[in-house]
Amino acid sequence: MTLSPPDLALPADGSLTGLQAVIFDWAGTLVDFGSLAPTQIFVEAFASFGIRVTLAQARGPMGLSKRQHIHRLLQEDAVRQQWRSAFGREPGQTDVDAIYARFMPLQIAKVGEFSAPIAGAAQVLRWLRGQGVKTGSCSGYPRAVLERLLPLAAEAGVAPDHAVAGDELPAGGRPGPYMALANVLALGAGDVRACVKVDDTCPGIEEGRNAGMWSVGISLSGNEVGYSPQEHAQARPQDVQARVQAAQAKLRASGAHYVVPSIAALPQVLQAIAVRIRAGEGPDSARST
């Protein structure tokens, strides 16, 4: 369901008139098909404390900042019960800090292994620049992790105009609008209603909606489906379709105006959004399609 770069159909010049900026998530959206890097490291970080967290559990809060993510996992009944059995008390903030301290070096060391661009990402970014549309990005990754990821992605042609990390805004991260709005300020976009947020997680979709933007969900390549490239290649078509449909439902329930399988299918959606912008339609009043 993803498109290889030679098959990527890009609308003609001028088709994005009215659209000012597109702000992307990273893992599962621009790079790291299946959003594998953060999920596997959460499993490893908790395991170092003797706590078993499944990949499915680790995926649940994806899109939040990593501290928020750890806190949310510690509140799950199965995880809390393990923590009480292991340490004889309820998990608290000092435990969030301790797990985060274990998580960070693991994530910095491993993120490079999952930095491969998702098919079409470099081409779409290049096309947007050619159309005069600014490109931003934000992530639940802390700045230290992004600083490892950004140059590796840039070498492969994935280099948005700006990047905001999940730990660098005092107001907080997703689902609040702050990282998306920080991109708007940095890029000099004049109207949030002419901006689009693209994300594979529900908090990321909510972030875009809370910022007053159009929001586009990513299903197949993202966290909600969760296939590695190898798993996707070997999966039965009916199983892939079932996961994609479940992801679409969750992303739409979070407020996505559109849902596409991957960034390779984004250009036609951006063209449709630009038409709606030129017609005077805004994201708050727009129906999902």
Point out the domain boundary residue: 112, 130, 158: 112
Determine contact, residues 221/26, Cβ cutoff 8 Å: no
Which pLDDT value is given to residue 14?
A: 76
Whether residue 66 lies in the annotated active site? yes
Q: Tell me which range, 6-15, 57-66, 109-118, is most confidently predicted by mean pLDDT.
A: 109-118
Tens of pLDDT along 234-282?
999 999 999 999 999 999 999 999 999 999 999 999 999 999 999 999 9
Predicted pLDDT at 1: 35
One-letter amino acid of 250? K
Query: Are residues 207 and 73 part of one domain?
Result: no
Kindly state whether residue 122 falls inside one of the protein's structural domains. Answer: yes
Pair 247, 127 in one domain: yes
Domain with residue 94: its CATH number is 1.10.150.240
**Same domain for 138 and 265?**
yes
Please indicate, yes or no, whether residues 42 and 32 belong to a single structural domain of this protein: no
Q: Where does the pLDDT of residue 7 fall: very low under 50, low under 70, confident under 90, or very high at 90 and above?
A: low
108 and 137 both lie in a single domain: no
Quote the pLDDT of residue 10: 80
Say yes or no to pLDDT of 197 above 80. Answer: yes
* Same-domain status, 101 and 234: no
* Rounded Cα distance, 166 and 189, in Å: 21
Query: Does residue 151 sit within a domain?
Result: yes
Which residue of the set 25, 32, 167, 200 is catalytic? 25
Based on the fold, state whether residues 198 and 218 are members of the same structural domain.
yes
Q: Does the annotation count 199 as an active-site position? A: no
Question: Which of 78, 112, 146 is the last residue before a domain boundary?
Answer: 112
Residue 21 is assigned to a structural domain of this protein: yes
Q: Give the whole-number percent of the chain exceeding pLDDT 70.
A: 97
Statement to judge: residues 81 and 165 lie in one domain? no
255 domain-assigned: yes
One domain for residues 145 and 220: yes
pLDDT at 206 over 50: yes
pLDDT in tens, 33-92: 999 888 888 999 999 999 999 988 988 888 888 889 999 999 999 999 999 999 999 999
Specify whether the CB–CB gap between 184 and 208 falls below 8 A: no
Q: Which CATH number is 266's domain given?
A: 3.40.50.1000
Whats the size of the chain, residue-wise? 289
Q: Is the pTM of this model over 0.85?
A: yes
> 99 with 184, same domain?
no
Reference 116, options 7, 24, 228; nearest CA is 228
Give a yes or no: residue 245 inside a domain: yes
Burial track 250-272 (b if 16+ CB lie within 10 A, e otherwise): bbbebbbbbbbbbbbbbbebbbb
- Per-residue pLDDT reduced to its tens digit, 148-176: 999 999 999 999 999 999 899 988 889 99
Report CA-CA distances (Å) from 150 to 161, 164, 173, 181.
11, 11, 19, 20
Pair type for strands 21-24 and 195-199: parallel
Q: Mean pLDDT throughout 223-241?
A: 94
Name the active-site residue from 7, 32, 66, 199: 66
Provide, rounded to the nearest whole percent, the portion of the chain with pLDDT above 90.
Answer: 80
107 shares its domain with 241? no
Is residue 244 included in any domain, yes or no? Answer: yes
Same domain for 49 and 12, yes or no, is: no
Half-sphere exposure of 282 (CA within 13 A, CB side): 8
The number of angstroms, rounded, from the C-alpha of 31 to the middle of its chain's C-alpha atoms is: 9
Number of domains in the chain: 2
Containing structural domain, residue 206 = 5-36+116-278
**Domain end call among 112, 144, 168:** 112
